[in-house]
Chains A and B, each alone.
Chain A
Amino acid sequence: MKEIKLKVNHKDYHVAIEEDMRLLDLLRNRLNLTGTKEGCGEGECGACTVIMDGITVNSCMVMAFQAENREIFTIEGLEKGGRLDPIQQAFLDEGAVQCGFCTPGMVLSAKALLDKNPKPTREEIREGISGNLCRCTGYNKIVDAIEKASEYRKEE
């Protein structure tokens, strides 16, 4: 057991972790942030994507102790005052969510992309979500949604 402190979705946490825990386990099992999903557990699918110090990482590929003093955003951190983030809204409006398993990771990859590049081309969007696999949608609707999100964010 080890105590670490970190920030998750704007909140400071002091939390006890096991040495062999991954960041994914810490988020889901200790902090009950179960929006972050585990797919492959091997860095291939992106279902476990979170934002750490401004960049996307696979939380199954980060040890919990490595997150000490770092700032994490999960899908639960996106809504503001009960309102969905424009990216989440765009995913709903464009029908980019089917089973929803890939959605949290996909939305966070989209957020990291749009934060860096507010008006990406479709090509850049595809590259930006290339580490997130979706078994349901065939990706076109997801790309549409991220394009729409880019417009929504401009209007805000």
Chain B
Amino acid sequence: MALREVYKPKDITEVLQLLDKYKDKGKIIAGGTDLIIDLKERAIDPEVLIDIATLEELKGIAFKGSYIEIGAATTFAEMMDHVITKEKTPALVKAARSIGSPQIRNTATIGGNICNASPAADMLPVLLALDASIILKDLEGEKTILLEQVLKGKGKIDIERNQLLSYVKFKAPVDGEGLSFEKLGFRKALAIAKIALGVFVEVENNKCKEIRIGSGAIHNRAIRESKIEDYFRGKILSDAVIEEGSELFQEEVRERLINRSSGEFKREAIKGIFTTAMKTALSTIKS
């Protein structure tokens, strides 16, 4: 098969109609930075491409009450430049800045990063730490689901072929809450030497009231590290406690990657990067 039809729809409704019409034969293209490589390597074989890169309805960053909403077709460069993300979620800006090159960041989108569902996608750890939800649209209507619930494995995400990811939303961090992103390694070394972490902490009366840790590239998908989170909740986040938590994390990674060639490196590396991520998250808390 080969590409037969390509469309640049004028609005979301037209996108949804095209998705519905072509079902499994159709594919959305945003920045194209994952998809065009997949086409080239014949990893996918769509008959129809539907371009959403310039749809204004899918672009932009805005407050909605206590939430921040980011349109699926918003590029990393746009995230790096926007006053809301710069002021409220510098960790998300840091993750965006760490991606690819200027040219890649000018076109690659947050929606594409999510939908491609790479275990090493750099947006995912921070978005998991923010407990982000995604909003999916189809001709029937829209639904909101936690990001954590749709990530199923390497390249596997629970989004139907007739659904469009329209935007991402999460609560803007407030006083008493901190957020960080740390990453190690390079894309070229993807399989062996990459780890990314997003950490969200909420501190009340000196104790850890809530913590969410999103990890990338240490499982078959980006996940929440609930065992490590459980260890911290209710504790005073002293250096000793962070040290013990990081050792627990190390043990967790050891068990998880026991038969992987990358296991040893990642087990060694996780302790340092997690400690940095925790301390950075704490340092960003405003009181």
Q: Contact residues of A with B, CB < 8 Å?
A: 2, 19-20, 22, 41-43, 46, 49, 55-58, 60-63, 65-66, 68, 70, 109, 112, 127-128, 130-132
Q: Which residue of B lies closest to A42 (CB)?
A: B37
B6 near A65 with CB under 8 A, answer yes
B6 near A19 with CB under 8 A, answer yes
Residues of B within 8 A of A22 (CB): 36
User: What are 26 inter-chain pairs, A to B, with CB distance below 8 A?
Assistant: A2-B6, A19-B2, A19-B3, A19-B5, A19-B49, A20-B2, A20-B3, A20-B39, A22-B36, A42-B37, A43-B33, A43-B36, A55-B106, A56-B103, A56-B106, A57-B106, A57-B107, A58-B107, A61-B31, A61-B36, A63-B6, A63-B49, A66-B53, A68-B8, A127-B102, A131-B104
Residues of A within 8 A of B117 (CB): none
Residues of B within 8 A of A57 (CB): 103, 106-107
B155 CB–A CB distance under 8 Å: no
- Which of A65, A66, A68, A127 is the most central at the interface, judged by chain B CB atoms within 10 Å of its CB? A66
Q: Which residue of B lies closest to A46 (CB)?
A: B103
B32 CB–A CB distance under 8 Å: yes
CB distance from B263 to the nearest CB of A (A): 28
Docked pose: A2 CA to B6 CA in angstroms: 9
A61 near B32 with CB under 8 A, answer yes
- Which of A2, A65, A68 is the most central at the interface, judged by chain B CB atoms within 10 Å of its CB? A65
Additional A-B contact list (10), CB under 8 Å, known A20-B2, A55-B77, A63-B51:
A22-B36, A57-B106, A58-B107, A61-B33, A65-B49, A66-B8, A109-B102, A112-B102, A128-B102, A131-B100
